[in-house]
Amino acid sequence: MRIRRETDYAVRCVLYLAGRPEGKAAIAEIAGEMEIPPSFLPKIVQKLVKAGLLSSAQGVGGGVRLLKKPGEISLFDIVDRMEEGGAGMNDCVIENRGCHRSPFCAVHPAWVEIREMMERKLKSYTFDRFLKG
């Protein structure tokens, strides 16, 4: 599986906020510190807001803030939201995309097992873990 650049930027954004006091920062600050194109970050933040991971406010005292503690946010949370189909390796294991061959495909169980393993591993990496590094 290869994640898109947008997902990498989302991970960087959450990582930066996880390391900040109160989990809060301005979009321009995050973009500059984490080398994310400033014009691209608001779109990423919007997706993370819709996922319930961040809040965003404009104006004085505004910025982007984590809605959960770093230990409550995993890589899976980001990948699942940012990547279409989450951690699925093949369309046949992505919810609502099934394949008519799944019931008799000899490879289908392997795709399911790989997806489950990947999800477990991504869920095991929470952002508090990265801060201890």
Per-residue pLDDT, 17: 97
| Sheet (strand 63-66) strand order | 24-25, 63-66, 54-57
**pTM of the predicted structure, to 2 decimals:** 0.87
Mean pLDDT of 7-14: 98
Residues 67-116: pLDDT tens digits? 999 999 999 999 999 987 666 666 777 765 667 877 888 988 888 898 89
d(CA 92, CA 101): 8
d(CA 4, CA 82): 8
Q: Is residue 102 part of a domain?
A: no
The amino acid occupying position 24 is: K
Q: Is residue 56 part of a domain?
A: yes
Mean pLDDT of 14-34: 95
DSSP-assigned letter for residue 125: -
Measured CA distances, 2 to 6, 79, 87, 108 (Å):
12, 11, 10, 20
Q: Is residue 16 part of a domain?
A: yes
Q: Is residue 97 part of a domain?
A: no
pLDDT bucket at 22, cuts 50 / 70 / 90: confident
- Domain holding 45, by residue range, is 5-86+126-131
Residues 77-91: pLDDT tens digits? 999 999 876 666 667
Per-residue pLDDT, 96: 55
Q: Is residue 121 part of a domain?
A: no
Mean pLDDT of 51-79: 93
CATH number at residue 52: 1.10.10.10
Tell how many helices (H) and how many strands (E) occur in the chain. Answer: 6, 3
Q: Is residue 51 part of a domain?
A: yes
Mean pLDDT of 11-23: 94
Q: Is residue 105 part of a domain?
A: no
Show the DSSP H helices in 19-103 as ranges: 27-34, 41-50, 75-82
Counting the structural domains of the chain, the total is 1
Q: Is residue 9 part of a domain?
A: yes
Judging by beta carbons within 10 Å of its beta carbon (0-12, 13-18, 19+), is residue 118 exposed, middle or buried? Answer: middle
